[in-house]
Structure 1
Amino acid sequence: MTLLSPGRLWLLVLLPVLVAVYVLLQRRRRAYAVRFTNLALLSQVAPRHPGWRRHVAAGLFLVMVALMIVGFARPAGSVKVPRDRATIMVAVDVSLSMMAKDVPPSRVEAAKAAAKKFIGELPARFNVGVVSFAGNANLIAPPSADRQAALASIDQLVLAKRTAIGEAVFTCLQAVRTFDAQASQDPPPAHIVLLSDGDNTTGRSVQEAVDASRAAHVPVSTIAFGTPYGTVDIEGETTGVSVNKETLRALAESTDGKAYEAQSLGQLTEVYSHIGSSLGFKIEHRDISARFLGIALLFALAAAGTSLAWFSRLP
């Protein structure tokens, strides 16, 4: 819970003042009572009973006041709200290092299978776009609600040389900015999910991509995919292709996204599942002051009821 107008809580300082005034009045009442020397009158002015019951109505009244003050400060609860016009951009690395078979049957085939499962399980209200990137980045499926187009684009991925991570982010951002007629002025809430196993080797830098993503308020979640033992055969030469986790983690953390690592198809599928559940909603704070005012009303009724029942008067 949070407070939308926390400055109003200063009114709570009135509570100890009320308590002090109440205690002072009780002492004055007792002092006034002992001034009577006639015991018969004393028993009428300061009877021993109801004793503690005298303070119940006052206590309930103070609780009521405290609840009303908290309600006046506009408490708000966190609620999950579906993201309207939400757009998810899936960027898949198709550089030659994705041929590595350390993740069977190969990194690229495992990536295809996991990406297709992720897209297929996203809520229908999401728009999904797909970008492939190697030496440059290409929008192979513009963001839309057409799942079949997105899935078909995954099947058409073709490997190529070099890795342009920065260009992939810029291509995703451009797709978001041109999503619909109002996107240029009111872009949809968007999130980029980028899977790669390497470093940025061509095109615009990762830092430029970070700056552009932050300016557009579009987080980038990254998945570092593969093991440290991957190798590929290029032109008869075997080359090691370990995963550059640091670059991908820096991209994610600098754009308020999440950085994940996966070394198998099972782990990759689990990562995609976690991303999908976290993107389905946004958190909003909604005013719940009516709850506090309602409870305060119950305490007010309790204070009035006890006072009427025991003393035949309102507090």
Structure 2
Amino acid sequence: MSFLWPQYLWLMPALPLLPAVYLWLLRRRVKAAVRYSSVAAVRAAGAGNWRRHVPPALLLLAFAAMMFGIARPVARVPLPWARTTILLAVDVSLSMRVSDVKPTRLAAAQDAAKLFLRDLPKNIEVGLVTFAGSSQVAQAATLDREALVTAIDAFQMQYGTAVGNAIVLCLAELFPDHGIDLGEMTFGSKRHGRSLDDKPRPPPRQVAPVAPGSYDSAAIILLSDGRRTTGVDTLEAARMAAERGVRIHVVGLGATDGVASTEGLPIYMQLDEPTLREVARMTGGEYHHAGTAEKLRSVYENLGSRVQLATRETELTALVALVAALLAVAAAGLSLLWSRLA
């Protein structure tokens, strides 16, 4: 635990003075009561009735909580209601038809993704991005698992592999107010025209870099079976993610080199493991190689248990103030109740 205003903790040593003042007032009351001839008055002023000490004790605790709250305590606590988003970025290039991962790489990736969704806690939103020569948001982040399964079943393979584009598109989805423009990054000022479906974006925002992996509200899981052939540089996109604190967990699928043939066409499938490992390292994520369907499923199962983002750095001032208020109300209520019964 830490404090935003630790200088106010110097008020805490004043707390022992309050019990001392209370005892002094009690003694004064007893001395004053001795002047009267009524024995009942003397007994009432004495220490025989323990209940009359409870409200002052609660009030003392309320003061302690208020002094503690003034220093604005901060701690990492579980917040199960906080929004968490996982974006799955899946390679749908033509090499995903290769059957070295049974029945095919694409089918194995689809099955593993569905298993991942089934085991993931229901309060975590999941989005789906597909990429080959270009990148698309196949399904915006949602809690609707059926919609995600439908999107996974509808994968369409294309030419090319734009790994960097997939990362940039994920960041644009996570930070819509940052003005990230994938088209501008891909084509620069030479891009002409926009699709009617393009949403207006704010101008690019300067982002103050944070520690890699420090953004606890989202993570990206990237699956690829090849190397970048077009689009934004993969490591440049990874740098953008690292500056925003977003972890990228990378899964390399299939063989690491060689050429395969499917439907009579040669498919070049050399996996760029050094670059993919660097993406994971730069962003504070993990790299896994999956050479079989069983290995791919185990990787997704492992990642599902790691990306639940259970704790957040949270200021506790409001909670401490609520406790102080409840203690003060309880002290006042008990004092009024027991004074009437006396």
TM-score, scaled relative to structure 2: 0.56
Deviations 1:184-243 (A, max 9, x none): 99x981100000011111111112211221232211110011134664336834345232
* 1:251 and 2:279 are equivalent in the alignment: yes
- Alignment match, 2:261: 233
**8 Å Cα contact 2:164/2:237 also seen in 1:** yes
Structure 1: 5+ residue stretches without partners: 8-74, 288-315
* 1:163 and 2:161 are equivalent in the alignment: yes
Q: Distance in 2 between matches of 1:188 and 1:284?
A: 7
Deviations 1:19-51 (A, max 9, x none): xxxxxxxxxxxxxxxxxxxxxxxxxxxxxxxxx
Q: Distance in 2 between matches of 1:217 and 1:83?
A: 21
Q: Tell me the SS of whatever aligns to 1:276.
A: helix
- Alignment match, 1:18: none
- In structure 1, which of residues 138, 145, 148 is the aligned counterpart of residue 146 of structure 2? 148
Larger Rg over CA atoms: 1
* 1:197 and 2:225 are equivalent in the alignment: yes
Q: Distance in 2 between matches of 1:240 and 1:105?
A: 19
Give how far 1:281 is off: 2.9
Q: Distance in 1 between matches of 2:257 and 2:236?
A: 30
* 1:206 and 2:234 are equivalent in the alignment: yes
Deviations 1:291-312 (A, max 9, x none): xxxxxxxxxxxxxxxxxxxxxx
More off after superposition, 239-248 vs 152-161: 239-248
Q: Distance in 2 between matches of 1:84 and 1:112?
A: 28
Q: Tell me the SS of whatever aligns to 1:116.
A: helix
**8 Å Cα contact 1:101/1:231 also seen in 2:** no
- Alignment match, 1:125: 123
Q: Give the number of equivalent residue pairs.
A: 222
- Alignment match, 2:295: 267
Q: Distance in 2 between matches of 1:155 and 1:82?
A: 30
**8 Å Cα contact 2:133/2:162 also seen in 1:** yes
**8 Å Cα contact 2:92/2:158 also seen in 1:** yes
- Alignment match, 2:89: 91
More off after superposition, 222-231 vs 95-104: 222-231
Q: Distance in 2 between matches of 1:162 and 1:109?
A: 19
Q: Tell me the SS of whatever aligns to 2:83.
A: coil
Identity of aligned residues (%): 33
**8 Å Cα contact 1:82/1:280 also seen in 2:** no
Q: Distance in 1 between matches of 2:240 and 2:313?
A: 28
* 1:111 and 2:109 are equivalent in the alignment: yes
Give 1:171-186 correspondences, 5 Å limit.
171-178=169-176
Runs of 4+ with deviation above 6 angstroms: 2-5, 75-78
More off after superposition, 134-143 vs 253-262: 253-262
CA RMSD of aligned residues (A): 3.5
Give how far 1:284 is off: 5.1
Q: Distance in 1 between matches of 2:107 and 2:252?
A: 15
Q: Which amino acid aligns with 2:307?
A: L
Give 1:259-298 correspondences, 5 Å limit.
259-283=287-311
Give how far 1:96 is off: 1.0
C-alpha change, 1:177 and 1:240, in structure 2 (3 Å) is closer
TM-score, scaled relative to structure 1: 0.61
Q: Tell me the SS of whatever aligns to 1:193.
A: strand
Q: Distance in 2 between matches of 1:285 and 1:144?
A: 25
Q: Which amino acid aligns with 1:254?
A: M
Give how far 1:80 is off: 5.1
Q: Which amino acid aligns with 1:263?
A: G
Q: Tell me the SS of whatever aligns to 2:310.
A: strand
Deviations 1:95-151 (A, max 9, x none): 111111111101111001001111122111111100000000000100011111111
Structure 2: 5+ residue stretches without partners: 7-72, 178-201, 206-214, 316-342
C-alpha change, 1:115 and 1:235, in structure 2 (3 Å) is closer
- Alignment match, 1:47: none
